[in-house]
Structure 1
Amino acid sequence: MPTISRVAEDRVDTLVDVYAQAFFDDPVFSWIFPDPERRAEANRRFFTVIVESTFAGGGLALQIEDFSAASLFYPPSVLPTAQDHADVLARLEKELDDQAERAVAFMNLLNDNHPRNLPPHLYGTYLSAVPGQQGKGLGTRLKMAQFALADGADAGVYGEASCLRNLALYERLGQIRLGEAITLEGGPSLYPIWRPQASKRAGKS
């Protein structure tokens, strides 16, 4: 059975490679970067900013099967601050130049729709397998690893599914829809998902 391991900060480039490939045909990133000839490089620039800022803000990453799949998240004790968000937007505008507008709109939409009244929770931001490794259960194992970390802190798990297929998978794993879909202007929707903390699932007060 492949082993899940934590990604060291000196493997940022490798992690960026995973996400740049994995999200190339994703409906959300096809909207953010509509020109397919420029999307690969734009994805790399976008995810370089996201991965570096996540690590700098105390976030973590896990990988499985020699970086066949990876998950990026903020643990329950650490969530991005308003200043973290502003810093990410500034970096995206600098790195993406004329391709920054939709990336910034996307990040603002996620930030504005992240519920402020949730109990302590792990925030899962990006989880995917590279092309050719999807459908093998690697993402499921990474998601379950997130659940285990959250349960250890009696925390919930929040995230956004970027398509209905991913939403169906997360629902099968025990997460539930939370509120309305988040719809990009003239583009696809994302679906907020939630898994209550262990004490709530056990029916405890």
Structure 2
Amino acid sequence: MSPTATSVARAATLDDVPGIARVLSLALHDDPLFLWLFPDEETRMAKVRRFFALTSGFGYVPAGDTRVTELAETEDSAPTVRAAALWAPPTSNPEGPLVSMRTWPHWGALIGRARLTAFIRLFAEWKMATPQEPHLYLAALGVDPSATDLGLGRSLLASGLEEADAQRLPVFTQTLDVKSVGFYERFGFEVVREVEHEGAGTSHFLFRPAA
């Protein structure tokens, strides 16, 4: 039986972190970023899951504006997180110094010393490309592959864009997956910059002007 939506997009809580990490790892484990960051296919899924548990648990849930959508297999079954979007409003800093201090001890063990320096360099290049003006930032968007035909990703993105429009804020995101560029362009984003990273591919920085 196909899952059915039991709730609209809602703000995530810390109790949702395992579900967020599960969904984003299922959706994004084959993203070029993670193919490069975690080259071992056998351990990649688990490491991407840990990556998003750290990112959301320390940063984007308590200090950002993470949204989730739940689905249930049947009317009697408990709903589970099937889609997630990690947002950062201009008044928040889910990747700031305090969060970095708390997560730093975990990154070395997860990524490995050989790749960590290159990842820090890539992350710094992302930060340098960030607009200076106040904006809404989308760090990650993903849908459980079992629910990809239900429009959950589009709905979560549209919900965030509506809030940005209401506040007259531009929106910024980036991706190393060229296949995602067209998806974002359909929502009014434009590629404003591209940066090539040795071994990792090309970052496409996308900007959606304020309404």
TM-score interval w.r.t. the shorter chain?
Answer: 0.7 to 0.9
Indicate the residue corresponding to 2:175 in structure 1: 161
**Deviation sequence 1:77-125 (CA, Å, 0-9, x none):** 2134651474266234344163x54356335423333335531101100
The answer as to whether partners of 2:13 and 2:62 remain within 8 angstroms in 1 is no
Q: Using the aligned pairs only, state the percent identity.
A: 27
Indicate the residue corresponding to 2:24 in structure 1: 19
Q: Give the C-alpha shift of residue 147 in structure 1.
A: 0.7
TM normalised by structure 1 equals: 0.83
1:9 aligned to 11, 14, 17, which one?
14
**Deviation sequence 1:173-201 (CA, Å, 0-9, x none):** 1011112x233321222211111112xxx
Matched, 1:176 2:184: no
Matched, 1:149 2:149: no
Q: Within 5 A, what are the aligned runs for 1:116-135?
A: 117-135=131-149
**Deviation sequence 1:130-188 (CA, Å, 0-9, x none):** 22323542211111111112122221111112312211010011011112x23332122
Amino acid at match of 2:174: E
Change in CA separation of 1:149 and 1:106 when aligned onto 2, cut-off 3 Å: farther
Change in CA separation of 1:48 and 1:21 when aligned onto 2, cut-off 3 Å: same
TM normalised by structure 2 equals: 0.81
Q: Distance in 1 between matches of 2:131 and 2:24?
A: 30
Q: Distance in 1 between matches of 2:165 and 2:183?
A: 20
Q: Distance in 2 between matches of 1:60 and 1:197?
A: 19
Indicate the residue corresponding to 2:207 in structure 1: 194
**Deviation sequence 1:30-88 (CA, Å, 0-9, x none):** 11101011112211221111112224762021112432211011112213465147426
Q: Distance in 2 between matches of 1:35 and 1:127?
A: 23
Give the secondary structure class of the aligned counterpart of 1:134.
helix
Amino acid at match of 2:89: P
Indicate the residue corresponding to 1:203 in structure 2: none
Change in CA separation of 1:117 and 1:33 when aligned onto 2, cut-off 3 Å: closer
Q: Distance in 1 between matches of 2:145 and 2:103?
A: 28
Q: Distance in 2 between matches of 1:86 and 1:196?
A: 29
Gapped regions of structure 2 (runs ≥ 5): 72-80
Change in CA separation of 1:107 and 1:152 when aligned onto 2, cut-off 3 Å: farther
Indicate the residue corresponding to 2:76 in structure 1: none
Indicate the residue corresponding to 2:59 in structure 1: 54
